[in-house]
Amino acid sequence: MKSFGLQRYLTGWLVAVILGVPGVSWADGDWVLVDTKALTLTVLSAENHPLVRFRNIAIGSGGASDLHRHGDESTPRGIFHVAWVDHHSRFNTFYGLDYPSAGIARRAYDSGDISQTEFDAIMQALRHHRTPPQNTALGGQLGIHGLGGGNPDVQQTVNWTDGCVALTNRDIRRLGQWMHVGTRVIIR
């Protein structure tokens, strides 16, 4: 893992916290780093020490992007938090993210992809640590999940999700010991 890239993301997160950007809060404990180029998911301790790394993850079939839009099948880059957990998902376990983040909502509003009303609703939800609206042009229902009944061979050969991060069922169960509502997830 290149420390400069990680340092840049952590510095951005720290600045956001100090400035009081909605949707970003001090997160005690372990956190997750998803590297969309290396296709790895790493759990790091509060002191930023790697605890475990999962390889051969899958991301959206549209690659990674700074601004995910409904239907583009890209995985959004940014700082998120686990907003809900579904242990009975068709994908085994699903850790839903508080997507869209404040930064993504701002870029989408500035580019005309969402209205003032939608932007305000997203920001209001983030300020109150609720899941932002999932029905805007930015889409929703993004998270980290397993394969469920899917073919494990596909996981090893192609990025197949609609924008989520996918691990094998075995790996998503193992990841569960570090995941809970509020866990910080950085996707880069």
Per-residue confidence (pLDDT) for residue 14, from 0 to 100: 40
Token code pair at residue 84: 């809900």
| Structural domains in the chain plus CATH codes | 3-187 (2.40.440.10)
Going by their DSSP bridges, the two strands 40-44 and 184-187 should be labelled as: unpaired
Per-residue confidence (pLDDT) for residue 67, from 0 to 100: 84
Burial zone of 151 (CB within 10 Å; 0-12 exposed, 13-18 middle, 19+ buried): exposed
Higher pLDDT, 68 or 9: 68
Per-residue confidence (pLDDT) for residue 55, from 0 to 100: 95
**Closest to 169 in 3D by CA, of 187, 154, 159:** 154
Q: Considering only CA atoms, give the Rg of the chain.
A: 16
Per-residue confidence (pLDDT) for residue 3, from 0 to 100: 39
Q: Whole-model pTM above 0.85? A: no
CA angle 107, 67, 175 (to 5 degrees): 125
Kindly report, residue by residue over 110-119, the tens digit of the pLDDT: 999 999 999 9
